[in-house]
Every structure is written in C-alpha cells, then in structure tokens.
Amino acid sequence: MAFLNRRSPPNIVTLVLVSGLAALSMNVFLPSLTGMARHFGVDYAVIQLAVSAYLGVSALLQLVIGPISDRFGRRRVLIAVYAIFTLASLGTLLAPSAETFLAARFAQAVIATSFVLSRAAVRDMFPGPEAASMIGYVTMGMALVPMVGPVVGGFLDVTFGWRASFLLLFVLGALTLALVWADLGETLSAGGVPFRDQLAGYPVLLRSHRFWGYSLSAALASAVYFAYLGGAPFVGAQVFGLSPAEVGYFFAVPAGGYVIGNFLSGRFATRLGMDRMVLIGTAFATAILALSLAAEAAGLHHPVIFFGTVGLTSIGNGLSLPSANAGLMTVRPELAGTASGLGATLTIGGGAIASSVAGLILGPGTGALPLVVLMAACSAGSVAAIGWVHLRRRRVLGI
C-alpha cells in the first residue's frame, strides 16, 4: 500500500489535467444533445438531464468528497475517482437506452469532485493570496482543455456519431488515472483530520460570513456559465439554426474569455487581494450581461453578439472565481477540503438549478432573451454576495 502514501508534490500540469478532464466531461458532448434525443427517441428535456441532473449528482458528491479527502488524503481519493469515471464512461458507450445512458452518465459525475480535490491540493501547498494566484494559473490551464471540447465534440459527432465523444472520455479517463498514479503525491499533512474534528469545525465554517460570502459569490458567478451550458445548445441550434459543429465552435468563445481572466487573476491576485479581485470580476461580468440584455431588447439577434458577450462575461468569471474559491478555504485552512467541498456543493447545486431553469424557460419562439435574463440575474447576485463580505470587512476595520 506504499504507493497510496507517496508524498512527492504533484506537477502543476498534473493538476491542470486532473481538473481539465472534469470540465471536458461537462461540455464535449453538448453539440450532440439534440441528435442524442433523436437517437434515443426522447424529448430534449429528458436528454438534457445529462447536463442538469449530472450537475445535481455532482453537488451531492462534492458535499462528501471534501471531508473524505481531509481524512484519507487527496491521492487515494483521486485514484478512486478516476477508476469509477473510466468504468462509467465505458457504460455510456454501451448503453442501449436513454435510461441506461443517464445512469452511466450520473456515475460519470464523480469526476466533478476533482475540482474540489485539485483546489484543496493547491491550498495544501500555498497560503491564501498565493493560493488564489496559483488556482488562477491552474484554472487557466484547465480552461484550455474544455475550450476545444465542444469543437472536438461537434467534429466527432458529424464524422463518427455522438458516441465518439464518450469514447474520447473513456480513453482520457484511463490515461489520467495512470498519470495520477504516477505523479500526484499526497499533499495533505500526515494522518489527515479525523471526522470528529471535522464535525467540530463545521459550525465555524457555517457561522462565517466570509465563507458564505465567498461561496455564494462563486456559486452565483458559476451559475451564469451553468445556465449557459443548459440553454446555449438550444439557442444555437433552434434560435440561430447552427449545425452541431458550428455550435461547438461558438462554445469555445466563453472558455477563451475564462482563460484570459484566469491569466489576469494569476498576475494580480496577490497584489490586489482576494476581495478586490472578486469584486472587480463580478462587476465586470454583470456590466457585460447588462449590455447583452440591451442588445436583445433592441432586436440585435446574432450568434456573434450572443456568444461574444458571454465570452466577455467569462473574463470576469475568470478574474473572480480563483480568489473566491481560495477565500472560502482560508476560514479554516486545516479543513480546506471540507470548505472546498461545501463551496463546490453550493456551486454545482446552484448550477444544476440554473441549468434546469434554462432548459425550462426556452422553447419555440422565446429567442435567447430568457436565458440572458437568467444569466444577468445570477451575475448581479454574485456582486451582492462579495459586496457583503467587503462591507463587513470595512466595518470590522472601522473604515
């Protein structure tokens, strides 16, 4: 069992790939959703559960994965996560019905916990603002992976059919499992934190306005993207009449904006501080979505405008999310995994709701306006949440 206890620190590239495959799993097949619904003979709302219900399962898993990793370590848990994901990916390939496919897809949701575990590993290795900077760089690299995911997924769908995207996930899952085994040493201090001690720390987290402010800001900012994931395939195909390949190309735009935001976060988070970075990023994203609403209200309906403004919004999210996620883990640094898991549960749970709502409010004749309204409301909420943290801090300091 010595291989489970290796303590060589992981290469930063390994952490990027660990998180990157989780992001790829969420979006590589999106251009195929309408075709998958036809293949299985079900409504779009049913096959869209591969996004919204997947996120709900992810939220539940992330609630428990943080405490488990705080007890048993990041390495052991990640090895188990990637083994389950690889087997589940095989299940999606062999599924004869929509029900069987969705069951395997929900099992794939275990991969989303690698977001929690990679962030916790960074927090194990670096202190507060430096952790925010490093998370920015990790997520910048991570965003490069899913940026091409929908493009690749659209190409695979047109060339080989929708199952090709899930074959890709199976192969990459097996390769990443081998990489984790070989390189990702344990970052948690020896022994971990017993569950009894973790339970004693929960009230501190749950009573902290800083934890809730950072968590809610991150959750609502992320809900902007999850609403987009749930509604943009419909908008692209039904409102703008794009092919699966074209939807894939446009889907890459927001990921590119997120990369830019993450790069800027990595450069300036240590200098400006976590609160200011979150406030700047969320305010920028909300301002861009306000412009998108104005364009929709003025009748300016075009895929370049819709996807382009979402891309600019993603710059704001790339600025804010690394600092928000680092901030929620500074309340109790010894419970970084637990805090990351609780924050991720709020993020993914809120994302599941936003994605589901996006699927419900869009239909024949609605256009893209309902989706833009939903995204703008979530983004405004993220500004309010970090503003609460900022104001409380100023009161404590007597400013």
Over residues 148-177, the pLDDT tens digits come to 777 788 889 989 999 999 999 999 999 999
**How does DSSP classify residue 330?**
S
Q: Residue 298's pLDDT is what?
A: 85
**Confidence band of 128 (pLDDT split at 50, 70, 90):** low
Show me where the domains of the chain are located.
Answer: 10-397
- The rounded distance, in Å, linking the Cα atoms of 108 and 58 is 9
| HSE, side-chain direction, 13 A CA sphere, residue 82 | 25
Mean pLDDT of 319-343: 77
Does residue 365 come out as left (phi exceeding 0), alpha (psi in the -120 to 50 range) or beta? left
Q: Which of 355, 395, 366, 347 is nearest to 219 (CA)?
A: 347
Mean pLDDT of 361-375: 84
Q: Report whether 349 contacts 263 (CB < 8 A).
A: no
H or E, element range at 378: helix 369-397
* Rg of the chain, C-alpha, whole Å: 20
**Is 131 or 121 the better-scoring residue by pLDDT?**
121
Q: Report whether 209 contacts 393 (CB < 8 A).
A: no
155-164 CB contacts, 8 Å cutoff, 24+ apart: 155/245, 155/248, 157/31, 157/32, 157/35, 157/244, 157/245, 158/243, 158/244, 158/245, 162/29, 162/32, 162/35, 162/36, 162/39, 163/92, 163/93
**Is 51 or 221 the better-scoring residue by pLDDT?**
221
pTM above 0.85, yes or no: no
Q: Residue 2's pLDDT is what?
A: 47
Residue 183 pLDDT exceeds 90: no
Q: Which of 309, 339, 335 is nearest to 324 (CA)?
A: 339
Residue 9 pLDDT exceeds 90: no
**Is 93 or 17 the better-scoring residue by pLDDT?**
93
Q: Report whether 118 contacts 138 (CB < 8 A).
A: yes
Q: Report whether 302 contacts 100 (CB < 8 A).
A: no
**Is 191 or 255 the better-scoring residue by pLDDT?**
255
Residue 396 pLDDT exceeds 60: no
**Is 373 or 186 the better-scoring residue by pLDDT?**
373
**Is 2 or 21 the better-scoring residue by pLDDT?**
21
In percent, the amount of the chain with pLDDT more than 70 equals 87
Q: Which CATH class is domain 10-397?
A: mainly alpha
Residue 5 pLDDT exceeds 80: no
Could you tell me which residues come within 8 angstroms of residue 211 by beta carbon, excluding any fewer than 6 positions away? 205, 328, 331, 339, 342, 343
Q: Picking from 13-27, 164-178, 208-222, which range would have the lowest pLDDT averaged per residue?
A: 13-27
CA dihedral 212, 216, 219, 225 (to 10 degrees): -160
Q: Residue 194's pLDDT is what?
A: 67
Q: Residue 1's pLDDT is what?
A: 47
Q: Residue 164's pLDDT is what?
A: 94
pLDDT tens by residue, 85-101: 999 999 999 999 999 99
Q: Residue 109's pLDDT is what?
A: 92
- The rounded distance, in Å, linking the Cα atoms of 166 and 246 is 20
Q: Residue 172's pLDDT is what?
A: 94
Residue 282 pLDDT exceeds 90: yes
**Confidence band of 13 (pLDDT split at 50, 70, 90):** confident
In percent, the amount of the chain with pLDDT more than 90 equals 23
Q: Residue 192's pLDDT is what?
A: 61
Amino acid at position 199, single letter: L
Q: Residue 132's pLDDT is what?
A: 65
**Confidence band of 127 (pLDDT split at 50, 70, 90):** low
CB atoms within 10 A of CB 264: 18
Residue 105 pLDDT exceeds 90: yes
Residue 379 pLDDT exceeds 70: yes
